[in-house]
Structure 1
Amino acid sequence: MSPGDPVLSDRAEGGRRVPLLVWRLERPVRSISSAVLGGGIGECDWLVNATVPMSYDRDDPADHLREIAAALDLRGRGVGLLTGVDVADVVRASDGGVRLWATVGLGAPIQAASPPSEDESATRVGTVNIVAWLPVRLGDGALVNAVATVTEAKTQAIRDLGLAATGTATDAVCVLCPTDGPVADYAGPRSTWGAPLARAAYDAVRRGGAVNLTGTQSWSDRADGAQPPPHQAGGGGKRQW
């Protein structure tokens, strides 16, 4: 049972309609995530990837995501992600049974082990959010391994886009798998399931990053007057990917 593609919806906030992606899962799945809401290892009933304006200054993002989930009537345990980019630009990829969705913001690239530079600014849009589904139950170690595999593939894609960076300071990952069935113990980039996971993550980040680096990087800028991309022109209401 694979989760379907997310539904693109929106919410009223700050006098604007702000976009968000919603996954309503038919049954609970196993998850590992670095998200601000629903992080760690556990079961997951839903996911939200929500755009926020670049003026976002709430110091309680987990509570904010709970409010968003409640307004959507999402119940149970969920995972919530935030980003400054327009989640309408979600990129999906699939490989060998793995499915993956990424929203890619590369306006604030960093080298993880380098000291902060003077040109790093909190006002520059960033965040690469990745949600992945593997059709086999992963053991705890394999779940951790899967997060590492996604991260390595993301970094490879970013560098192949010409950036001397490992990611942004606010990237998040969520990996999902079934709660039952035979357990896979490995998810490294050369394992049975890690290899297609790496390829899907690389493909999505490479394609999404190419669009982000050549267009309007933040939803705020787009909402304040930049032309929307063709898939948004004349839009409104809910759209399904």
Structure 2
Amino acid sequence: MPEPLAAALATPGLGWLLLTISVAGVVRGFSGFGTALVFVPVAGIFLAPQVIVAVMMLTGLVSSSALLPRAWGQADRREVGLLALAALLTVPLGLWLMTRLDPVLIRWCVAVIAIVTLAALISGWRFSGRVSRPQLAGIGALAGGIGGMTGLTGPAVILFYLAGQSAAQAVRANTILFLAALDVVIVVNLLVQGAVDWALVALALVLAVPYVMTSLIGQGLFDPRHERLYRWVAYAVIALAVLSGLPIWNNGA
């Protein structure tokens, strides 16, 4: 057996990681997002932050090939392009912060931002105005910074779309396309930094197999007629991720 594959199969908690990535795949296929929100809190029990970010992005690249064809024709590619361009500029900063800041501090920051935003969404707040190009770029930049720092590439853009008036189908397509672009940006930065080795690639491929399969299952479950259900599933996924990821559950580790 090749050494990188043997190392991947010996990863602590691999069974839990495979189960979690399978659940995340169903959520991603159905809603267009949720992989990191479901996977990262559990992966943090077993893997270092640098490993989580690398594995998340590499796995995302593989899975995107299954979801992109449908999303490409339904997404607003100009809007997604601006979001991705802004994220491109802030990903290096996020990766730098990941290596410098206390991991517990990072987790608390993400939790607070997610809780406040989720509370606004559940309360019924909706943005009815038109987002300017600078504002859209700011949202993309925030997503890039948070994604590089934590591996949670989606929350800023996800919450932006869910707060708006876009149809569920458009939200799903735009989110899938943006997350795929951000995966590429982060992986390129990690490669430049020499933070990706063959063992990480092997682990990502092991996780990608069930992830792609369950993503296709989730995609088959998606029905744009059930927009209200879609929104509440999204809220539940975010809430569960925030609660499970709070540092208090592992004594601040």
Give the alignment's TM-score, normalised by structure 2. Answer: 0.29
Write 1 or 2 for the structure with the bigger share of helix. Answer: 2
Write 1 or 2 for the structure with the bigger share of strand. Answer: 1
Higher RCO, 1 vs 2 (CA within 8 Å, ≥6 residues apart): 2
Give the alignment's TM-score, normalised by structure 1. Answer: 0.30
